Structure 1
Amino acid sequence: MFSGIISIFSNLIVLGIFIKYKELRTPTNAIIINLAVTDIGVSSIGYPMSAASDLYGSWKFGYAGCQVLDIFGMKAK
């Protein structure tokens, strides 16, 4: 849980810096922003769903939850 919170906040800082400084808005840096946004999604949605399922012992989020997890490139167990 601690590493997920650190990941979310550090990626929010990256996004904030990107928004504040216009000279950083280059096509190459767009890849970094894409990675930061994706990592925020994985840290805030993907990992908690996966951890909850691991603790429960089976998948509790149904078909829609499985599709959400698949968007982040993770596999439901």
Structure 2
Amino acid sequence: MSSEKEIKHRLIDKILSSKNETLLARIDQLMESSISEEDVVSLTEEQNRMLKMSDQDIEEGELISQRELNRDDIEWLREK
């Protein structure tokens, strides 16, 4: 069975190689109609605030690597 990633790559390859405008328009319509309100995630006000804080940290260069984060987590767990 194909993985989701493999299916996406096959579809992208086929779409890129197609010159059939009608087919491409129908694929576009199908994809648009498959997007439902269930796919939209509603965030709480607190979650939105946290995302804005994250954006601000990124803009200010307040970042750490995944390796540093993992190390800090391990140290924190050892203290508990």
Normalised TM-score (structure 2)? 0.30
Q: Which of structures 1 and 2 has the bigger CA Rg?
A: 2
**TM-score scaled by length of structure 1:** 0.31
Question: Higher RCO, 1 or 2 (CA under 8 Å, sep at least 6)?
Answer: 1
